[in-house]
Amino acid sequence: MFSAKRKDVAEALIGFLHAIFTSFYVDVFIGQYVLVGDRDENMGPTHDNGNHIDRTISSRRSDGGAIWYLALTQLLYFFLLLKNSVIFRQHASTATFSSFPLRRLSSLPVCGTLLSFCFALMWFPLDLPFLNAATSFTLLTAAYQALFARCRKFVDALSRSSLRRPEGNIACTLFAAVGVAVACWLHGIPNNPQPMRCFTTFCAVSGAVGFFACGRQKSHSNSCFGTDITEGDDGDVLQEAVWFVQQTMLRSSMKVALLLWMFQGYNGLIATSFISVFLTACHDTIPLPLRGLLLFIVFVLPQGTDTVLASFKRVVGKKRLVALLLALLAFIGFLFILVALRDHLFILHMSPTASTLSFAVLLVMHRLMIDTLSRVQSWVLRDVVEEDTVIFCRPKPMTANVQLLLDSASQLVQCVALVLTSLHLVSVSSGKSVKPFKAAWVVGCPTLVMSVVMLLIWVRWYNLEGSHLQFVKMAMRKRADGSDPVV
């Protein structure tokens, strides 16, 4: 039997590695391949009218070719991931839940070790004689994401089959936050990537050892796995998936939910994967230890919002809560624009130090709002799935299918966000500098425009509220009680 302590250790290791990966892998790729050129290794931080010129970006020529290679490889990666995910989820749906944790149990040491290996490779140069750097980056990222998803499903299945301790979640979050802060301090050492690489290699080796230790307890017999997963015809599976998508997308609430997931995917990637890049632009005003502390805060702070969100949900409802968060994001985007226009608005003229500090505070607020909205999305997903079950008289809730559809749309938008944000960074780094008020454009423009549009769509077309939501909830209760379904 897989003990609760080993489950917590496996969950902590996965969260630790993934937190460092998502926080810095884009920063490393951009620094090595998107912004390239001759660089003075002895160059220290310089100043231009009181604004910091980041030494990791200065004296470089932007390489647009890397971005276009990145765009192509990311697009191909998405379509491959979408096809494989549809087939796998449809096949996996025929397996019983009780066999799922046991089937994944024996693969945890292998998957965890491979995950650690991919994690370690990410921080070293990707220059290969037969592969473009963007292609190597995408292939390695795809392998990491696939292994992470496999390990994550294993731990989630064990969490559902046993009591989940809230203190375990908090401890895992603190562990990951400390790792991100340490990685930030090592990554920020000027002109010396070796400390960061040594740290990530040590984390990878420790993670591999930990995964092997967690996977030592295996089932003594494979007979309890049950029957094998049914292997159907790929054409029939895809046809069934297309039919399901066409049917469930007839609902207005599902269309709006799809747009909400796409919105969250785009802004979530900016808030998570580019935050290290943006904080580096504040190097002159915000020292390295404080930048690490800010990253620690953005990981820990959302843990304290669950109680507040539950209280707001009871008072204003889920629809108004999402609308409030979107309005706050739009306001934060507007403040980013004000920081970007500090030299063009006489009434709001700020010193370079004030604008840099304002930019850093807005980055933290933006990340907090994005993480908060991610937590609220689980409530939206539950309502959308229940409405789908009631309206189309499903024999059981199609949670996995709906989640796959929403996540696939989010994945596509994340690929677009990665390319467009990198391209925008190249444009604002012209003149051999990246200043905070220019970086504010990169965050503020998509946040303001997309938040306003999403808010209008959400308020106008999302209809899971009031009497309609009560009808859906009543129908689901009747199904749970064994009564005839309400149609």
DSSP 316-373: H-HHHHHHHHHHHHHHHHHHHHHHHTTTT-GGG---HHHHHHHHHHHHHHHHHHHHHH
The Cα–Cα gap between 357 and 72 comes to 37
* pLDDT for 61: 40
Element (H, E) at 121: helix 108-121
- Residue pair 68/214 in contact (Cβ under 8 Å)? The answer is no
* pLDDT for 485: 53
User: Which comes out higher in pLDDT, residue 244 or 163?
Assistant: 244
- Cα separations (Å) of 172 from 8, 36, 240? 8, 37, 39
Residue 447 has pLDDT above 60, yes or no: yes
* pLDDT for 160: 55
3-state helix, strand, coil in the chain (%, to 5): 75, 0, 25
Fold adopted by 1-219 = Growth Hormone; Chain: A; (1.20.1250)
User: Which comes out higher in pLDDT, residue 221 or 416?
Assistant: 416
Residue 455 has pLDDT above 50, yes or no: yes
User: Which comes out higher in pLDDT, residue 201 or 482?
Assistant: 201
Q: What are phi and psi of 63, to 5 degrees?
A: -110, 95
The Cα–Cα gap between 113 and 147 comes to 9
Region 150-157 average pLDDT: 79
* pLDDT for 189: 86
Grade residue 348 by pLDDT with cuts at 50, 70 and 90.
low
Count helices and strands in the chain by DSSP H and E runs:
17, 4
For 29-78, write each residue's pLDDT tens digit. 887 777 654 333 333 444 444 444 343 333 334 445 677 788 788 888 87
Residue 358 has pLDDT above 80, yes or no: yes
- The architecture that CATH gives domain 236-487 is Up-down Bundle (1.20)
- Residue intervals in the chain for CATH 1.20.1250: 1-219, 236-487
* pLDDT for 18: 94
For 194-241, write each residue's pLDDT tens digit. 999 999 999 999 999 988 887 665 433 333 333 333 444 555 556 777
User: Counting every residue, how long is the chain?
Assistant: 487
First to last CA, the chain: 43
Region 300-307 average pLDDT: 83
Output the pTM of the full model.
0.84
